[in-house]
Structure 1
Amino acid sequence: MNLAAKVTTGVAVLVVGGLVALAVPSVSAAYAEVSAWAVFQPTERRTAEPASEEDGDQVGEQTIDELGDGYVYVGNGTAIPKGSPAGCEDPAWIHQGEMSASLSGDLVDRGARDLAAGTAGLDDEGRIVSYTVAPGDALYAIGDRFCIANALTIADLNHTRTIQPGEVLLLHPDRSIPWVPYLIPAGAPAGYRQIPYQVAIEAMGTAADAGDVEAMRAIFADGLSSMFPNPAHADMIAQALDGGDLHVLRQMFP
């Protein structure tokens, strides 16, 4: 397949169970303008980070060599056009794997604006790591404010379908801490019961926000533990629950 056939323009790229589905979003003109990007994403790089920084650099150089100077490499085998969102020369990109989430690039706060008037949260080093939603906020505008190219991924990252005023959204996940997928678990077979899984995942996040580790353990034992096709993933969550570290649990279930 030549390079042109690998580049998809004006669609959202969704990875489900290893298969790529292309969905044309039915949204406002403002969002359509933001989302009309070309994305190059080799199949072998969609669900795993490069094995090393050197490996990742080589992939990035090869990708940009093929696509040209109009593109910027955002890690994990993915390149997007420069200026996506508009005015962002170095956009950030949220990556999601089987049990991991990470951010390529640094978040830059370009200032409060219509539909993104909330407050950025900083870590001890002054980096933007979270965002508190204001009334009327929209994901595409939040992405535009912080130069996050795949802004709709913020919802999945935070285990939600809609964002609410006062909600604190994780924007910069810690790649050293596991993260649990929201839509379906890795390896889910055809016909998997998605809704019960998502309800349990959301309940875990609510309990994590409340600092109620015992409630999280109960939700996990009462059914969530059996919903993971890969037992190793359930074991990873069980170990985190045994440790009871809320910092870890709140990244796993934001």
Structure 2
Amino acid sequence: MNRAAKITTGAAVLVVGGLVALAVPTVSAAYTEVSSWAIFQSAEAPTVEPTSEADDALGEKMIDELGDGYVYVGNGTAIPKNTPAGCENPAWLHVGAMRASLSGELVDRGARELAAGTVGLDDDGRIKTYTVAPGDALYAIGDRFCIANPLALDGLNHTHMIAPGEVLLLAPDSSIPWVDYYAPVDAPGGFEQIPYQLALQAMSRAAHAGDVDAMRAIFADGLADMFPRQADADMIAQALDAGDLEVLRQMFA
């Protein structure tokens, strides 16, 4: 199913791999293979992390226009409450432009069919990761943790398909850079996406294995040259030089 329905004039929302991009100015609703849930995004969406006063004001404006049946999840995006069902205040993953962040708080509603894995907590006892169990599916994982855009977990974790035993990052630290999975920022037309993604998948496996030397080799053997913006490649190189696995495991979750 891939239907779109506008609720105001002059715009459409493109949803690709969990990313939401505004095509032209307005507020619109899109229904995609991600789910049948409505996603509303404003043309005034900020390009910075969703923590500024301007973003808060935009959220208030959107909820005033849409009604109290919606919840603002930051970065110019509002979604219906009770999405997934039973989640009054759903969480939303924002990924792209070398950053990843989570709006809202994750809640664990308990193991269930297709989401029977185990939860990892951070030092403050908040949900941070999830270890995939056999037969798990992203929709069910999203339902368990009240994540309204669960397919974003694939891109966030640099994979096309989750596997049993894989440790998924659920709550990224917005203060740590994250490397875009589908294509680097400012990638030109005709960019060779498959070699880039294979390299990122290899970086992710090495990061989780704690093998920084392997990551450095993958980066030097071609990945470094795939970034159109030298500043992005330099930032990754600095993280590799430092060898901080906490940072590297977020960058290449």
The normalised TM-score by structure 1 is 0.88
Gapped runs of 5+ residues in structure 1? 26-31
Residue 42 of structure 2 corresponds to which residue in structure 1?
A: 42
1:13 partnered with 2:15: yes
Residue 185 of structure 2 corresponds to which residue in structure 1?
A: 186
Distance in 2 separating the partners of 1:82 and 1:140: 17
Work out which of the residue numbers 3, 8, 11 in structure 2 matches 1:4.
8
Gapped runs of 5+ residues in structure 2? 1-5, 25-29
> What aligned pairs does 1:31-180 form with structure 2 within 5 A after superposition?
35-45=35-45, 47-50=47-50, 52-180=51-179
Residue 244 of structure 1 corresponds to which residue in structure 2?
A: 243
Distance in 2 separating the partners of 1:48 and 1:102: 11
1:202 partnered with 2:206: no
Q: State whether residues 12 and 24 of structure 1, in contact with CA within 8 Å, keep that contact through their aligned partners in structure 2.
A: no
Alignment length, in residue pairs?
A: 242
Q: CA deviation at 1:55?
A: 1.8
Query: What SS does the aligned partner of 1:45 have?
Result: coil
Identity of aligned residues (%): 67
CA separation of 1:40 and 1:249: change in aligned 2, threshold 3 A: same
CA separation of 1:122 and 1:44: change in aligned 2, threshold 3 A: same
CA separation of 1:23 and 1:61: change in aligned 2, threshold 3 A: closer
CA separation of 1:92 and 1:7: change in aligned 2, threshold 3 A: farther
Q: State whether residues 184 and 197 of structure 1, in contact with CA within 8 Å, keep that contact through their aligned partners in structure 2.
A: yes
1:221 partnered with 2:220: yes
Q: Which amino acid aligns with 1:111?
A: G
CA separation of 1:16 and 1:40: change in aligned 2, threshold 3 A: closer
Q: Which amino acid aligns with 2:144?
A: R
Q: Which amino acid aligns with 2:40?
A: F
Q: CA RMSD in A?
A: 2.4
Distance in 2 separating the partners of 1:177 and 1:5: 37
Query: What SS does the aligned partner of 2:237 have?
Result: helix
The normalised TM-score by structure 2 is 0.89
Distance in 2 separating the partners of 1:155 and 1:5: 32
CA separation of 1:5 and 1:134: change in aligned 2, threshold 3 A: farther
Distance in 2 separating the partners of 1:116 and 1:218: 35
Distance in 2 separating the partners of 1:210 and 1:124: 21
CA separation of 1:212 and 1:147: change in aligned 2, threshold 3 A: same
